[in-house]
Chains A and B, each alone.
Chain A
Amino acid sequence: QKEVEQDPGPLSVPEGAIVSLNCTYSNSAFQYFMWYRQYSRKGPELLMYTYSSGNKEDGRFTAQVDKSSKYISLFIRDSQPSDSATYLCAMSARGSQGNLIFGKGTKLSVKP
């Protein structure tokens, strides 16, 4: 079993839709969770960072962590064509010196 599983998509939605992106993990030591957005041929950009179970909201983005189920989600409200990108989840354990474990990414396309 891989440490982090992420559905690669591609996921295509109409503009204005609510998007749900998900990752599951197997290592119960993971305590820090991140979502990155990566546009084509660019470096990943940190979107959200959280270390506790529950929801964290930032504008149209909400990150959700359920440690009991080892499941994290990123919700995008009122999706825009500019949200079209690959979304990567990442996580790490305490004391790992920042060694992140990444999902393979979900490619999202928002159609006007």
Chain B
Amino acid sequence: SQTIHQWPATLVQPVGSPLSLECTVEGTSNPNLYWYRQAAGRGLQLLFYSVGIGQISSEVPQNLSASRPQDRQFILSSKKLLLSDSGFYLCAWSVLAGGDEQYFGPGTRLTVT
């Protein structure tokens, strides 16, 4: 069966510090991968999605970036965090050539102070 991991689970970082969140998927090959941010009262915001290694599409301009160095690894980064980057970050995967249902990881709660 497929599983998705995210780490760290929680993170408290000062403004201006760098960020690296990691997501890995097990039990599937060539998945679509997604990064979302969920802020209170604002729903799920798609940040990036990837259909393959090195292929990243950005949905929202911001100071975040994403990379996919391996088929089942997806990384979210920032060089300098802003207060507005606080939120709950979720990674998800879907079958590349299948239906559109997505499966979410446990999330990382980021607080920028």
Contact = CB atoms under 8 A, between A and B. Distances in A.
Interface residues of B, number: 23
Given A45-B104, A88-B44, A97-B49, 15 more contacts: A8-B41, A42-B106, A42-B107, A44-B90, A46-B101, A46-B103, A92-B100, A96-B100, A97-B32, A97-B51, A98-B94, A99-B46, A99-B59, A100-B102, A104-B41
Contact of B43 (A51, A97, A105): A105
Contacts of A49: 99, 101
A41 interface: yes
Interface in B4-22: none
Q: Size band of the A side of the interface?
A: 20 to 34
Interface in B36-93: 41-44, 46, 49, 51, 59, 88, 90
Interface of B: 32, 34, 41-44, 46, 49, 51, 59, 88, 90, 94, 99-107, 109
A59 interface: no
A46 B102 contact: yes
Contacts of B106: 42-43
A63 to B, nearest CB: 12
A60 B94 CA distance: 26
Q: Main SS of the interface on chain A?
A: loop
A51 B103 contact: no
Interface string A39-67: 00111111001010000000000000000
A97 B59 CA distance: 13
A21 interface: no
B102 A32 contact: no
A92 B100 CA distance: 7
A102 B44 CA distance: 7
B28 to A, nearest CB: 14
A34 interface: yes
Contacts of B32: 97-98
Contacts of A98: 32, 34, 49, 94, 100, 102
B20 to A, nearest CB: 19
